[in-house]
């Protein structure tokens, strides 16, 4: 190989591609995404649940009525556009390695908060589903975050009831089913602890709420929720 070629390859290594569209990248980047594929936060986050609100309010309508068990929730991006594609790849595309890059975005968002957790835990997946998929994406994100933050990742929750077809249920039905499905691993060291609960997407908050309720009943002092993506507040139809 000519010296000049070798030098150019060092500067512009080949084979580094955007994780989403496959476009060649000129250098290794933190998220391994091209500028077009990096998801963003559209709107501004509700200061309680982190969902995107499009008006000037500090809290979304649900939080103004004080509905959540968890203390706070936040996410770096809104569940829209390329964020949906990334989650889809991580969940159904068997592309576990993506967790490493998504966790970096989550960490950037976490760093802006003033929370000091003692440990990290994650939203559990039912055994049957985990067997089919091979891994729990929430656990993979939690493990990557644990590594970045130097914190223990504790497997503290269990999904003991197989909840299928959640998408077809209304909010209340969903809440009831999820609430009964999650239980505490009795040996988990969560008493008196400040916990960071990790999941992939925050939508209605029903899952985060159910997990938090179980953790707090088990003695957790504070629970904040960090997800990769969050929903937009559902606008009121007047």
Interface with Zn ion (CB under 5 A): 18, 20-21, 23, 34, 37, 46, 48-49, 60, 63
- Report the length, in residues, of the chain: 238
- Looking at the Cβ atoms of 23 and 217, the one nearer to Zn ion is 23
- Looking at the Cβ atoms of 71 and 118, the one nearer to Zn ion is 71
What's the CA angle centered on 216, arms 212 and 221, to 5 degrees? 110
- Looking at the Cβ atoms of 49 and 206, the one nearer to Zn ion is 49
Minimum distance from residue 197 beta carbon to Zn ion (Å): 16
Minimum distance from residue 159 beta carbon to Zn ion (Å): 25
- Looking at the Cβ atoms of 110 and 190, the one nearer to Zn ion is 110
178 Cα distance to chain centroid:
18
Do 145 and 179 contact (CB within 8 A), yes or no?
no
What's the CA angle centered on 144, arms 184 and 40, to 5 degrees? 105
E-strand stretches of 70-114: 72-74, 77-78
DSSP conformation class of 166: G
C-alpha to C-alpha distance for 41 and 20, rounded to whole angstroms = 18
Minimum distance from residue 120 beta carbon to Zn ion (Å): 22
- Looking at the Cβ atoms of 8 and 21, the one nearer to Zn ion is 21
Minimum distance from residue 198 beta carbon to Zn ion (Å): 19
- Here the tokens at position 229 are 């993506």
Minimum distance from residue 11 beta carbon to Zn ion (Å): 21
Do 151 and 110 contact (CB within 8 A), yes or no?
no
């Amino acid at each position: 190989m000519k010296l000049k070629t070798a030098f150019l390859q060092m500067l512009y290594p080949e084979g580094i591609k955007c994780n989403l569209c496959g476009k060649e990248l000129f250098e290794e980047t933190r998220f391994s995404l091209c500028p077009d594929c990096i998801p963003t936060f559209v709107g501004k986050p509700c200061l309680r649940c982190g969902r995107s609100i499009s008006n000037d309010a500090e809290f979304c309508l649900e939080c103004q009525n004080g509905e959540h068990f968890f203390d706070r929730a936040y996410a770096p991006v809104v569940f829209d556009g390329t964020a949906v594609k990334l989650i889809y790849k991580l969940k159904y595309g068997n592309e576990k390695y993506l967790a490493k890059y998504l966790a970096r975005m989550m960490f950037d968002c976490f760093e802006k908060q003033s929370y000091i957790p003692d440990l990290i835990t994650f939203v559990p997946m039912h055994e049957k589903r985990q067997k089919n998929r091979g891994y729990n994406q929430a656990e993979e994100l939690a493990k990557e975050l644990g590594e970045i933050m130097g914190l223990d990742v504790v497997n503290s929750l269990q999904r003991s009831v197989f909840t299928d077809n959640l998408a077809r249920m209304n909010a209340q039905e969903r809440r009831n089913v999820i609430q009964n499905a999650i239980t505490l691993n009795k040996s988990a060291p969560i008493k008196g602890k400040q916990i960071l609960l990790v999941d992939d997407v925050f939508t209605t908050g029903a899952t985060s709420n159910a997990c938090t309720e179980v953790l707090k009943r088990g003695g957790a002092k504070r629970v904040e929720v960090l997800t990769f993506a969050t929903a937009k507040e559902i606008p009121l139809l007047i």
